[in-house]
Structure 1
Amino acid sequence: MNNKAARPILLAGAESRGVPPTAMGQQLRQVDWSDTALGPEAGWPHSLRIALGICLNSRFPMFIWWGPSLINLYNDAYIPVLGRRHPAAFGRPARDTWADVWDVLGPQAQQVIERGSPTWNQSVLLVMDRNGFPEDTYFTWSYSPIFNDDGSIGGLFCACQEETARIAAERERDRLVREAQDAVVTLKTWFDQAPGFVALLRGPEFVFDMVNDAYLQLVGHRQIVGRPAFEALPDIRNQGYEELLQRVLTTGEPFIGRALRLNVQETPEGEVRECFVDLMYQPVRDADGAVIGIFAQGHDVTEQVHAVNALRQADQRKDEFLATLAHELRNPLAPIRQAVAVAASPKADEARKSWAMAVIDRQASHMAVLLEDLLDVSRISRGRLELRVEAVVLEDVVNAALESVQPLIQSRRHRLSVVLPEAPVRLRGDPVRLAQVLSNLLSNAAKYTDPDGQITLEAQAAHGVLTVRVRDTGIGLSPASQHEIFGMFSQVTSALHRSEGGLGIGLALSKGLVELHGGRLAVHSEGLGRGSVFTLSLPLAASESEAVKRSQPAGGRESTRHTVLVADDNADALESLAVLLELDGHQVLKARNGREALELAGRVRPQLAILDIGMPDLSGYEVARQIRQTGWGEAMPLVALTGWGQPADARRAQEAGFSQHLTKPVPPAVLGEIIQRWCPS
C-alpha cells in the first residue's frame, strides 16, 4: 500500500458522498487504492460503499474486513482498540494486524466468509500486545457478512465494544462486596487471634464490650465481658489505670505507655503476678465526635523487661569487673615498680636486691595467673580450650592445689581439714586443670571466711562418681547469689571490701573446666553468715588399668654452653631474655628485627633460635619460612615466643616451620627446659 500525498484527492464527487471529514475518512481519501487488493475505488461494489459509510459515520467502534485477504477498514472509534498498530493496520490484511489473537478471530471470520453465518461473542478474553506489552483485554463483538451486488459474500462487518474497564470494575466491585461480607468475620478472627491483648471499653464505667484471647490470658480467663472493668478486675484498682482511662475519656487524647507495671491476681486466693505491658488507650467517638468508649491495645512485655534488666545487670557486672581488673593489676604493679626502684638504688645491699627480685617474681607470677584465667574463660566460652587428659590420682591433684593455696590459708590463720578415701582414687582428666579447680574453691573459701575460720575438703568415691566437697564457715550466700555466683564477672562481695576479691571469674572458669571433664559443680548455703558448701562431682576412671604412677621430680642436668639466637623488637624483652640465657652460660646473638635475625642466623648458624612473631620488616613467621628453605636451616630448632596464645596461633607457627610455640612470659625454669630439649649435650 502506498500513501501518495501528492495525488489528487480520491473518492471525489459522487464517490465521496457518505465519507465524513473524520481522521479515517481523510485517510480513506488519501490512499491510492489501485495499488491494493481492493483495486480502484470506482470498481468497489455498492454494498462495500454502503457498509463503509455506516462504519465511518459511526461513533461506535466498527471495522470492515473485505475480500479474500480481509483488508482492514475501520473508523475513528476503533483506533484506541488498535493501539500502536494504528495507522499501519488501515488497508492491510487483518491476519497481519491481529496475528497474536488470530487463533480466536480467524476461525470466526472464516465461518462468516465461507458460510455466511454471523457470530456473537460477549466479554471474551483476548491477550494481545497492542501497546508494547501483553495485556488481558475483554471484548464483545459480532461478525456479519456483507454481500456483493451479485449475492456472493464479499467481506464481513464488525461492531465491537471493549469491556476491559467494565470487567475490571465489576471484579473490583465483587471483591469489595466479598471483603465487606467477610469484614466482620475477619475482624473477629483478627481480634481474637491478635498477638497483643485487645479490649473495647464502653461508657464512663468502662464496660467490657469485646476482649480477645490474649487479654483473657493476661487477666486469668475471668468472665469480664459485659461487666465494668474495675468491678470485673478489682485487683487492678489503685494501680493508676483507672485514672488513665478517665483522663482519655475526658480529654479525648490517646495515651501510650511503655513497660508499665501491672500486678494481677487471677483468683481471689491466688498469688499476685507482676507483669509489664506496653499499652495504648485510644478514644472511640460517635458520629458527633463525642468520646463514648476506649479501645485498649497492648502487649505483655514481661519477658523483654526481664531480659533488658538482665542485660543491664550483666553490663553493670562487666563495669565492676573492669574496675576490679584495674584494681587487681595495679596491686602487683605497685610493688613491682617499688622493688625495681629498690634494686636500682646504689644504697641497696645484696640482701635487699635479692628481696626486690623475689617481690618482682612473685607479683609478676600473680599477674600471669590473672591473665591466664581471663584467657581460659575466653577459650571455654568459644569451645577452644583443650584438656591434656591422662590418668591421675586424686591425692596428687589435692596436694598440688594445697601447695598453691597454703600460704593464703596460713596467713588468715584458718584451720584446714582434708579427708580423702583410704584407697587411691583414680581419674581420667587434666591434672593441672583439676588442681586449678580445687585451688579456686579453696582460695575462695579462704578469702570469704573471716580469720580463724574452718575449711574442710572431703572426698568420697562411690558408684563410679567422685564427690569432693569444700566447706567453709565464711560469709555464706543469699538464695539469689547462689543462682548468680557461677556467672561471668560475678562477685558476692566487692573487691573494695576484701583485698583478695579477685576478678570474679574464678567460679565461672572452674564450672567450665569441671563440665569439660564431664562433671558438675554446685553450691549450697544456709544463708548469709552461715558458710557455703561447694560440691564437685567427677566420673571415676573406668578400670584399674588406668592406674598411674606418682609423678617424680625430674633429675637435674648439668648446664652446657650453646649458641642461641634471640630476636624481639621490644628492647627490654630482648635484653632480659638474653641476660637470662647468658647467666646460664650460653652465647646469645641478639636481633632487633626480622631481617637482622635472618642475617645473623645465616652467618652464625646458631644451635637454637627463639623468635618473636610481631617484628618489623619480617615477621617471625616469615623468618622461620626463609630459614627452613635453606640447607643449613632445615633442621635448626626454631621456637616462637609471642603474646598470641590461641590454638590457631600455635597451628600457624607450626605451618611456618616452628618447632615449638610458647606464650609470653616464659618462666626461667621453662626456658631451661627448652634449651635442654632442643640442644641436647
Structure 2
Amino acid sequence: MTHTAGRLDAPSSLSRTHDVAPPEDSAGVMLTTPFPSEEDRAAWVAAIVDSSDDAIVSKTLDGLITSWNRAAERIFGWTAAEAVGRSITIVIPPDRLAEEEDILARIKQGEKIEHFETTRMRKDGTRFEISLTVSPIKNAKGEVIGASKIARDISARLHGDEAIARLAAIVNSADDAIVSKTLDGVITSWNRAAQAMFGWTAAEAVGQRITLIIPRERWPEQDEVLARVCKGESIDHFDTVRVRKSGERIDVSLTVSPVKDARGRIIGASKIARDVSDRKRAEAERTKLLQTVQQAREEAEELNRSKDQFLAVLSHELRTPLNAIFGWARMLQSAAMDEATSRRAIDAILRNATAQVQLVEDLLDVSRIITGKMRLDVQWLDLKSVIESALDAVQPAASAKGLKIETVLDPNAGPVVGAADRLRQVVWNLLMNAIKFTPRDGRVQVHLRKLKSHVEIVVSDSGEGIQPEILPFIFDRFRQGDSTTTRPHGGLGLGLALVRHLVDLHGGRVRAASEGPGRGATFVVELPVAILGPEAGTTLETSAAMGALPLQNVRVLLVDDDADGLDLTTVMLTNSGAQVKTAVSVAAALDVLESWPADVLVSDIEMPGEDGYELLRRIRAKERGGRTRLPALALTAYGRPEDRRRTLAAGYNLHLAKPIDPSELVLAVANLVGRTG
C-alpha cells in the first residue's frame, strides 16, 4: 500500500478473488459492490474515507501510521505527509501510552473496541477528548496485520455536558424556586428551592400540572401568562399569590421565560419564583404607618380647628350676656327709669349673669377633669330622686317651649355609688340638650331601668337629630354640630363632654344614637349597681368610719413602674380595705396572676419594655374561651380624649388620668367590682 498526503490508494491486499468472502477495507467497510477494476474499487473506498467527518487512521501492529484522512489532518493538526510512517504515539499523551498498549493487545486477539472515550493530543500539544472505535485489519488469510481507528472529537459535547451540569448545579443551589413546564402546564423540572418554598418534593411535583401551586381563583391568570409565553414574551417581576402543600398562601414575584428547542420553537416555559412575603408585610406595615401618621396629622389639624372654633364661640358666648349686663347696668346708673323698665333691667342682668356663671362653671369643670382635680362627694344614693331633682330644674325651660316631658322611672332600679350633685348635672345636661334641640310642642322622654348588673338612664327626644358624621365625636371637647356664625343655637358645646367625663368617673358609660337629621336623638347612661353596703345617703368616708370599708377584701393587682406612684396608690386602696399586690412590669404582673387571682387590675400605661396595652392583651388572650374577664382600670398620665379612646378600645373598662383623687379611685374600683367586665 502506498500513501500520498490526504489520499488513500487501493492496497494490493484488497485485490478481489472469487474463492473467499469479500474482505473489509482498512476503514472496516465491507466491499460487496462489483467494480470494473481493483483501481476503481480502491478509489471508491478512498473517496468514502477521505470525505468522513471523523478521523480515520490505520496503523501496523507496531504502531506505525499507514493511512491518515483529511479529517485526521483537521482534528490532529498533522498532515498525511507528516503523519504516515510515524508512530501513532505522536497523537497520544505520554500518560496514555499504556492505554494504547492495552488496545493493541486486544486488537491482536481479534477484538473490536467501540466508543472508547479517551484523550489525544494535537500537533501543538493541546489535549482534547475523543471517542475511539478500533477494529482489527486482516489479510486474505484472516490474519490480523494492523488496526483501523475512527476518532470523533467529543470536546464540544463534553463541554456542553459540563455546562449543563454546572447550570443544573446553579439551578439546584439557587435561593429562588426554579420550575419548568410544558405548554400544557405539566411540570418538567423542580429545584430544591421550589421544594422548600412550596412543600412538594421533585418526585411529587414533576409530571403534575402547574395548577398544583396556583390558587383556583388565579387559574385565569396562568392562562394569560401561557398565552404571552407562546408569543415569545417574557414576564418580569410579576407579583402574585401561590399556595403551599399545606394550603398556606404566599406572596411571590414571578419571572417567566419561554423555553425553545434547537430549531427555535417554543416548547415550554421556565419560572423563577421569589418569596416576597416579608417584603409585602413590610410594605403593608409601612402603608399602615403612613396612614396612621396621616390620620394623626388630620386629627391634630382638626383639633386645632376645633380649638379655634371653640375660642371664637367662647368669646361670643361670654360677650353676649356681658353686653346685656353691662348695658342695663349703665342705664340703671345713668338714666331715670320707670319701675317696669327697672324690673326688666334687673331680670335681664340676673338672667345673663346666671348664664355666664353656668358657662364659667362648665369651663372650670372641664379644667378640673383634665387636670384630675375633680372631687366627688361619693355616697350610696337613689337615682330616681336625683333624676326628679334634675327634672324640676329644667321644667320651666321645657314649659316655655311647650315641650312635654314623659317619665318612666323604675323605683326598684337599685342604689348606685356616686356623687348626687354630679349625677344630677349629667341628667340636667342631657335634658337641657334635648330641650334646646327639640322644636316647640315636641316630646322629651326620660327612662330609668335596671338591666342585670347596671342601671340605665335614657333621655330621648323628637328633635333635630344628629348627623351621622358628627355622631362618633358627639362627646368630644371643642366639638359642635354647627359652629358657624349662622347657627340657630348658642352654647359652648361642653355639656356632652362633661356628661361623658362625669359618667366615666362613676365607672359608667354613655352612648348616643340618632337615625339622622330631623329624627330625634337618644342618649343612654349606664351606671353599675352598687355593691352591697350601708344605707343610702351614707358617704364612703362615713362607711369607713363605721367599719364597713368600701373595698373590704377586694383583691387589686396594681401595676406601675414608678415606685412613688405605686406606693401612693397602694395606700389609697388598702385604706379602703382592699388587698393589694404590686408589680413593676408586665412580666411581674403576669407572674402574680398565675398564683393570685385578682378581682381588679389597676395599671399604668407607659412602662419600659412592655406597656399596659401589652399587659391587657396578654391577659385577655389567656381569658379567651373562659367565662370571666378581669375588670381593668387604666391609671395614666395621658388624659387626652384620644388617649381615653385608645385605652377603652384596647379593652380597659375605665380610664382615669393622674393625678387622681383617692375617693375617685376608690369609687372607680368599687364600681368595677360590681361590673361583669
Range class of TM-score, shorter chain: 0.3 to 0.5
> What TM-score results when the alignment is normalised by the length of structure 2?
0.37
User: If you compute each CA radius of gyration, which structure gives the higher value, 1 or 2?
Assistant: 2
> What TM-score results when the alignment is normalised by the length of structure 1?
0.37
**Which protein has greater RCO, CA pairs closer than 8 Å, 6+ apart?**
2
